[in-house]
């Protein structure tokens, strides 16, 4: 096989990774007694908040005859199906009442479960743990416990006061295209142009060091690109040489970035969440301890990042048109190497799950990549 053929053979598998925590929706969309619909990995969910403010997530289909539970009522404790009034505990999914039963009918109501999922609030988002298919509680089984808690936005100094902001955008492409679009350095000069930002002519050669980390890879600490926005802001505070940035990618869909300038920092956790096979959503949550005094800081940030994300969204919307006709990809070195690592990580992860083996990291050590952007 010549090099050209190998390139043509790379096709995304569009497989979604189960057994992880995913961002379902911004926490401020959940009101008291409200039932909100959400979809993660083609799984229909109904999400709410109980009387104490604790979030919960259930499968959005009644175990009786499939009515979406999101059409029902919620009293702050139990969800009542709108079809025959079966009632379920919002957290465990355990059935509490079947109104049609007569006093001499002995059906054990508490042996019935609506599917429920581990659910937690973290950094302004509701996260839901999506287990391997077939393990979700429903029918006569209890929901499985989730291992650990959702990932957090990095905070270099936990004691610092900080400000956060988030933004989201839906993309009509598979999670794979969403993720590799996020880690791809070569589209910058063409997609992210703005007079106040950079022009196509600022393109120059770059060299970055990467190293393997558990279930992912790290772009090692370096001085951020001179044409990046946070860098331009931080230059007001610190010497160019004192500014460093670290970017991690970790399965299934996490991009963590930390920029430091002395005691100041700016960090973000970006996720690309599979909604369905051909649809994903990008959520960026940023935290920073610089410009805290700036009353419109979060607004300014939302404006700057919102522009980028919108440019990416529009690009992927157009790309989705082409993808209908050409599912192949041509990933080239070095600019697309991170994308190749992503596919390898995913493959190794699936392999280790399938064979119940230890995860084998596709990278054996540090690598230097070069590209122009």
Instruction: List interacting residues with ligand FES (CB under 6 A).
Output: 62, 64-65, 67, 81, 83-84, 86
Nearer to ligand FES, 97 or 213 (CB): 97
- Pick from 312, 335, 339, 349 the residue near Fe ion by CB under 5 A: 312
CA distance to 23, 70, 77, per residue, from 129 (Å)? 9, 19, 21
How many chain residues bind Fe ion (CB under 5 A)? 1
Name beta bridge partners: 367: 210
Helix (H, G, I), strand (E, B) or coil at 95: strand
Supply the minimum distance, in Å, between the C-beta of residue 100 and ligand FES: 9
Sign of the dihedral through C-alpha 147, 151, 152, 157 = positive
Name beta bridge partners: 245: 222, 259
Supply the minimum distance, in Å, between the C-beta of residue 140 and ligand FES: 16
Name residues contacting Fe ion, limited to 39-78 (CB under 5 A): none
Supply the minimum distance, in Å, between the C-beta of residue 192 and Fe ion: 6
Name residues contacting Fe ion, limited to 321-360 (CB under 5 A): none
Give 282-320 as a 3 state SS string.
EEEEEEECCCCCCCCHHHHHHHHHHHHHHHHHHHHHHHH
How far, in Å, CA of 53 to CA of 107, rounded? 32
Q: Is 257 in the site for Fe ion (CB under 5 A)?
A: no
From Fe ion, ligand FES, none, interface partner of 277 (C-beta below 5 to 8 A by class): none
Supply the minimum distance, in Å, between the C-beta of residue 96 and ligand FES: 12
Nearer to ligand FES, 113 or 341 (CB): 113
Supply the minimum distance, in Å, between the C-beta of residue 31 and ligand FES: 23
Supply the minimum distance, in Å, between the C-beta of residue 39 and ligand FES: 20
Nearer to ligand FES, 67 or 191 (CB): 67
From ligand FES, Fe ion, none, interface partner of 176 (C-beta below 5 to 8 A by class): none
From ligand FES, Fe ion, none, interface partner of 81 (C-beta below 5 to 8 A by class): ligand FES
From Fe ion, ligand FES, none, interface partner of 312 (C-beta below 5 to 8 A by class): Fe ion
Q: Are 366 and 209 in contact (CB under 8 A)?
A: yes
How far, in Å, CA of 274 to CA of 29, rounded? 20
How far, in Å, CA of 316 to CA of 321, rounded? 9
Q: Are 196 and 299 in contact (CB under 8 A)?
A: no
Stretch that binds Fe ion, among 150-158, 201-209, 217-225, 307-315 (CB under 5 A): 307-315
CB burial of residue 106 (10 Å; 0-12, 13-18, 19+) = exposed
Nearer to Fe ion, 129 or 249 (CB): 249
Nearer to ligand FES, 59 or 255 (CB): 59
Supply the minimum distance, in Å, between the C-beta of residue 72 and ligand FES: 8
Supply the minimum distance, in Å, between the C-beta of residue 71 and Fe ion: 38
Nearer to Fe ion, 46 or 183 (CB): 183
Nearer to ligand FES, 41 or 81 (CB): 81
Q: Which of 20, 88, 28 is nearest to 59 (CA)?
A: 88
Residue 55's CB is within 10 A of a number of other CB atoms, namely 20
Name residues contacting Fe ion, limited to 172-211 (CB under 5 A): none
Q: At what angle do helices 337-354 and 175-183 cross, to 10 degrees?
A: 140
* Strand extents, DSSP E, the chain: 20-26, 36-40, 43-49, 55-59, 73-74, 78-80, 87-89, 95-97, 116-117, 119-122, 125-130, 163-171, 205-213, 216-222, 243-250, 254-261, 264-276, 279-288, 367-372
Stretch that binds Fe ion, among 33-41, 230-238, 281-289, 309-317 (CB under 5 A): 309-317
Supply the minimum distance, in Å, between the C-beta of residue 337 and Fe ion: 17
Name beta bridge partners: 80: 73, 87
Q: Number of helices (H) and strands (E), helices first, in the chain?
A: 6, 19
Stretch that binds Fe ion, among 197-205, 222-230, 249-257, 308-316 (CB under 5 A): 308-316
Nearer to ligand FES, 65 or 328 (CB): 65
Interface residue list for Fe ion (CB under 5 A)? 312
């Amino acid at each position: 096989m010549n090099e050209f053929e190998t390139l043509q053979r790379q096709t995304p598998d569009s497989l979604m990774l189960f057994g992880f925590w995913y961002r379902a929706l911004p926490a401020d969309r959940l009101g008291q007694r409200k039932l909100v619909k959400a979809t993660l990995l083609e799984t229909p969910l109904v999400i709410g908040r109980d009387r104490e403010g604790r979030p919960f997530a259930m499968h959005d289909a009644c175990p009786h005859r499939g009515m979406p539970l999101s059409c029902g009522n919620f009293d702050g404790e139990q969800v009542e199906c709108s079809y025959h009034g079966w009632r379920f505990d919002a957290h465990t999914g355990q059935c509490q009442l079947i109104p049609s039963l007569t006093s001499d009918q002995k059906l054990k109501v508490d042996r019935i479960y609506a599917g429920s999922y581990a659910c937690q609030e973290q950094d302004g988002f509701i996260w839901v743990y999506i287990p391997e298919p077939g393990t979700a509680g429903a029918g006569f089984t209890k929901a499985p416990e989730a291992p650990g808690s959702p990932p957090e936005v990095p905070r270099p100094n936990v004691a610092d006061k900080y400000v956060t902001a988030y933004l989201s955008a839906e993309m009509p492409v598979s999670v794979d295209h969403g993720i590799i679009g996020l880690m791809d350095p070569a589209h910058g000069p063409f997609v992210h142009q703005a007079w106040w930002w950079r022009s196509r002519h600022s393109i120059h050669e770059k060299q970055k060091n990467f190293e393997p980390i558990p279930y992912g890879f790290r772009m090692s600490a370096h001085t951020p690109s001179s044409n990046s926005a946070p860098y331009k802001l931080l230059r007001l505070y610190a010497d160019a040489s004192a500014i460093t940035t670290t970017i991690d990618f970790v399965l299934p869909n996490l991009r963590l970035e930390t920029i430091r300038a002395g005691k100041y920092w700016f960090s973000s956790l970006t996720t690309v969440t599979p909604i369905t096979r051909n649809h994903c959503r990008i959520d960026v949550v940023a935290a920073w301890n610089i410009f805290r005094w700036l009353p419109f800081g979060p607004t300014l940030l939302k404006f700057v990042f919102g522009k980028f994300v919108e440019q990416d969204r529009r690009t992927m919307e157009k790309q989705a048109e082409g993808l209908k006709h050409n599912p192949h990809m041509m990933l080239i070195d070095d600019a697309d190497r991170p994308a190749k690592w992503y596919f390898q990580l995913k493959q190794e992860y699936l392999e280790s799950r399938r064979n119940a083996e230890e995860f084998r990291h596709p990278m054996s050590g540090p690598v230097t990549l070069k590209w122009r952007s």
